[in-house]
Amino acid sequence: MATWASPEGGSPSSPRSAADVKVAAVTADDSIPRNLATPERIGFIGLGIMGSRMAANLAAAGFPLTVWNRTTERAERWVERHGGTVATDPAQVASRSDVVITMVVDGAQVESVLLGEGGAAEGAHDGLLCVDMSTIGPTAARRIGERLAKRGVPFLDAPVTGSSPKAEDGTLTIMAGGDERDFVRARPLLEVMGELIVHAGPLGHGQMVKLINNTVAAANAAVLAQALLLGRATGVDLESLVRVMSAGAAGSVMLDLKARAMLEHDFEALFKLEHMLKDLRLCLGEAEAVGVGMPLVEQVAGVLQEAVDQGLGERDFAALLEVLEQRAGTRL
């Protein structure tokens, strides 16, 4: 069940289908210039590990989708399975959509697909809303939002947390930054993809909350890896160690998600290590800009960078264990 939170408060609500959107739109703001007799037309740009699953949930809920991916074959395969249409470029996505959602790798890609040649801004029309669900950092989000605003296009940053299984079953946590009116309009779509939906504040605040969250997760994973290695080196039964940690103050989502993967060296990518490193670098940049030191995070980023240098960037970020194993001279 999706839960919506905002600074003004709110109550849990059930996941919505496309048929519900016209009701939500009328109660939110009946001045939105679009045809409320039909569901919002959704454009989805970026069909990678996360985006393909998020878009599939929107399609299953009954939203008409137009999709685009840098690799056309991937978009065509997605449409064969889930329906919808494939656009020739992001501009065509925008021209056929009421809301354009982007889920790509970084700020440069978001800027390219929205504002570059053939970008969504070239297909913009009255009533178009752009919602970026990538993790690009608050500085990039504000810059892109300002450029879109000059073209009359509102922009919401709405990054997600949760790996591919949560993207698949629609239980992501989504933290949005932007104007309240844009958030209310996008909320029914976000509720299809997420379980906890939070309006974090003005544009860029969704991104900042996401970066801080991922920074804590990465540091937690690194400490977990070190704990398991210490347990191995001292002869502790690791299964017992994990059971005790899970039951007490050392318990965490990272322990639940990554302990087994580390023990079995199963690093199939649920969230790529190189993407986690990108998020930490963005967080460190924002921290430096406001004069907040994060030495522990710098150490974790160093471990992740070493893992990338060793060719582990495409693996799950739990693969940071391999760097720590090398440093400790032992293996789980």
- Residues taking part in catalysis: 210
3-state SS assignment for residue 199: strand
Q: DSSP code of 48?
A: S
- AA identity, residue 150: K
In the block, residue with structure tokens 């609500």: 13
Q: What ranges in 29-137 are assigned the alpha helix state H?
A: 51-60, 72-82, 90-95, 107-115
Strand partners, 102: 45, 132
Which of these, 117, 119, 114, 158, lies nearest to 136 by C-alpha position? 158
Which of these, 150, 287, 298, lies nearest to 219 by C-alpha position? 298
In the block, residue with structure tokens 């985006």: 51
